[in-house]
Amino acid sequence: MPEVKHKSCQINAPVSLVTGAGGFLGSHLVDRLLLEGHRVIGLDNLCTGSLENLDNALSFKNNFNYIQTDIVESFKIPDLKYDFVWHLASPASPVDYRRLSIETMLANSIGTKNMLDIALKHSAKFLLASTSEAYGDPQVHPQPETYWGNVNSLGERACYDESKRFAEALTCEYCRRYCLDTRIIRIFNTYGPRMQINDGRVVPNFICQALRGESLTVYGDGAQTRSFVYVADEVEGLLRAMLSGNTRGEVINIGNPEEYTILEFAKIIARLCGIELNVVYKPLPPDDPAKRCPDINKARVLLGWEPAVSLELGLAATIDSFAHELIM
């Protein structure tokens, strides 16, 4: 992600309201919006985010306001005319959404309704950051937006999977009933600087273990597949989806169609970190999907978008950031 340069506050600058602004993806989105000249109001309760992620944004005293609040509860925002509402607030890693299971469900239900109501009041464009977890353990591969998914509604991941699916349904109903200008983005495995070290997902797990000279933990036999998109590419996809004139009511996958087995990915991490690969195998978590890879034809057609950052280049930047954080 390029360093954000200061721009003076424009009189007619677009105004963006961003939930989950202190999170990994939310903070990168905030930086990009500031780069594009938006005035940004960022909301976060910091249950998984951090103020450090907003260090750069907080230096934009005229263009950025941060409000620490819970969007499930009663909250106040500056009296402005909002042009865009970006709803990214929700724990996103299995470690976090199991620890905060009910909070996750409320953020994706009550929190989503609250943000939709704000968008409706201001006639703002609305973007829901949904997830590839909406597909569950898919029986269709790769996954197109038309696939309804294979989700265990009673499983341990349901607090996230099903609450995101509810958020999608609610967003669609606001689009149908009120003609609200909405779009839903299903985000696939995104990685990059500012991920939490204890995130629990494969990228931070492997990188931190490799940098510490430890064996890499592989769940199951390592034959399950994932695809990985660098955070700058993901943010570019979000931006295009919101700003394009042809995405009202659309559901769009934003991810990388390059697919790797977990064992293949472990080998790449070990090589980039300069260590010999040693693997420790542990049992698969419940409902862990065997395959996960997006069909991005819709993003290519509607947005002219596809990933631009190679896996090795993105991982190199991510490894550097984790190395610095571990030293600190």
Gyration radius of the chain over CA positions? 19
Which of 160, 174, 191, 230 is the catalytic position? 160
Residue 268: name the closest of 258, 257, 253 by CA. 258
Domain 15-188+230-257+293-308 has CATH 3.40.120.10: no
Contact 18, 42 (CB under 8 A): yes
Tokens describing residue 162: 């099903």
What are the extents of the domains in the chain?
15-188+230-257+293-308
Task: Answer yes or no: are the C-beta atoms of 190 and 231 closer than 8 Å.
Answer: yes
For residue 328, the model assigns a pLDDT of 60
- Give the residue carrying structure tokens 């896996």: 311
Helix (H, G, I), strand (E, B) or coil at 167: helix
Whether cis (ω within 30° of 0) applies to the bond prior to 142 is yes
Phi, psi of 222 (to 5 degrees): 85, 5
pLDDT (tens place) for every residue of the chain, 328 residues total: 444 444 445 668 999 999 999 999 999 999 999 999 999 999 999 999 999 999 999 999 899 999 999 999 999 999 999 999 999 999 999 899 999 999 999 999 999 999 999 999 999 999 999 999 999 999 999 999 999 999 999 999 999 999 999 999 999 999 999 999 999 999 999 999 999 988 889 999 999 999 999 999 999 999 999 999 999 999 999 999 999 999 999 999 999 999 999 999 999 999 999 999 999 999 988 888 899 999 999 999 999 999 999 999 999 999 999 998 887 6
The pair phi, psi for residue 261, each rounded to 5°, is -75, 160
Q: Is 160 annotated in the active site?
A: yes
Q: Could you tell me if 303 and 252 are in contact, meaning their C-beta atoms sit under 8 angstroms apart?
A: yes
- What is the pTM for the complete model shown? 0.94
